Amino acid sequence: MELMTPAPVPSATTAPLKVAVILASNREGRFAPVIADWFLSRTADHPDIETDLVDIADLDLPYALSHRPGPDATAQLAEITPRLAAADAFVVVTPEYNHSFPAPLKNLIDWHRAEWQAKPVAFVSYGGVSGGLRAVEHLRQVFAELHAVSIRDTVSFHNAGALFDDDRRHRDPAAVDAAAKTLLDQLVWWGQALREAKAVRPYGD
């Protein structure tokens, strides 16, 4: 009888990076799903990444922060907090509202702390002439306070509505594919490096 060799179990260094993709807009008629679908299409066949889409529009966290949240907030946190904690890295897909990022995103961030620590955060932004980059610069300061590492290179869509056709496909994909590859390469490097470091010594010890 031939003995079967068990398949190797992925280690912390070989397992795909768990990336939470946070869709940061809940505005009616939002363009965010078009941008998110574009980004997820770039990660679909990436061997080093597994994605989990976290849509702000599906959440209803109260804006009054509390150490003892009520039953509705407790139920929301029970659903979202483990997903953030399980992530090795984050990608925030954000528009720019009034030169900054959406309030529901800040609320999600503020309801958590340890879940962001010692993890990389990358940004995909969109908007008008600025492409959402002012929102990204504000977010870098917020995540730095939470001990996260922001990825230097971003993907930004200037005048985003004109860049996609009626089938939600980018009209000139080659123009942004290089930027997406750079962002993902940096995210994977930092994600794997920080995951390996925390396996040796938990952050904060």
Reply yes or no on whether the pLDDT at 138 is more than 80: yes
| 12, part of any domain | no
- Can you list the alpha helix ranges (DSSP code H) found in the chain? 32-43, 71-86, 103-110, 133-145, 174-200
Selection from 6, 17, 25 nearest residue 184 by Cα: 17
- What average pLDDT does the chain have? 91
Range of the domain at 163: 17-59+76-198
| 33, part of any domain | yes
Look at residue 166 in the predicted model and tell me its pLDDT: 84
| 25, part of any domain | yes
* Domain total in the chain: 1
| 21, part of any domain | yes
Reply yes or no on whether the pLDDT at 85 is more than 80: yes
Provide the pLDDT confidence category of residue 3 given band limits of 50, 70 and 90: low
Reply yes or no on whether the pLDDT at 9 is more than 90: no
Cα(16)–Cα(48) distance, integer angstroms: 4
Do 204 and 140 form a contact (C-beta atoms < 8 A)?
A: no
| 1, part of any domain | no
The SS3 call for residue 106 is helix
Query: Residue 70: CB partners within 8 Å, gap ≥ 6?
Result: 62
Cα(35)–Cα(28) distance, integer angstroms: 15
| 29, part of any domain | yes
Reply yes or no on whether the pLDDT at 75 is more than 80: yes
Look at residue 10 in the predicted model and tell me its pLDDT: 53
Strand blocks (E) in the chain: 17-23, 49-55, 89-95, 120-127, 149-150, 155-158
Provide the pLDDT confidence category of residue 14 given band limits of 50, 70 and 90: confident
> Average of pLDDT values for 62-87?
92
Look at residue 136 in the predicted model and tell me its pLDDT: 97
| 6, part of any domain | no
User: In the numeric block, which tokens belong to residue 126?
Assistant: 């969109």
In Å, what is the CA distance from 38 to each residue of 86, 106, 180? Answer: 24, 24, 10
Look at residue 167 in the predicted model and tell me its pLDDT: 77
> Average of pLDDT values for 68-81?
92
The SS3 call for residue 97 is strand
User: In the numeric block, which tokens belong to residue 73?
Assistant: 């907030």
Reply yes or no on whether the pLDDT at 7 is more than 80: no
Look at residue 2 in the predicted model and tell me its pLDDT: 55
- Bridging pattern class, strands 49-55 and 17-23: parallel
Q: How far from the centroid of its chain's Cα atoms is residue 55's Cα? A: 10
Stretch among 73-77, 151-155, 167-171 having the lowest mean pLDDT: 167-171
The pTM assigned to this predicted structure is 0.90
CATH of the domain at 105: 3.40.50.360
52: burial class by Cβ within 10 Å (0-12, 13-18, 19+)? middle
Cα(44)–Cα(183) distance, integer angstroms: 15
| 54, part of any domain | yes
Cα(57)–Cα(44) distance, integer angstroms: 23
Look at residue 171 in the predicted model and tell me its pLDDT: 84
User: In the numeric block, which tokens belong to residue 90?
Assistant: 């984050």
Reply yes or no on whether the pLDDT at 12 is more than 70: no
Share of the chain above pLDDT 70, in %: 93
| pLDDT tens profile 91-130 | 999 999 999 999 999 999 999 999 999 999 999 999 999 9
Reply yes or no on whether the pLDDT at 4 is more than 90: no
Do 20 and 52 form a contact (C-beta atoms < 8 A)?
A: yes
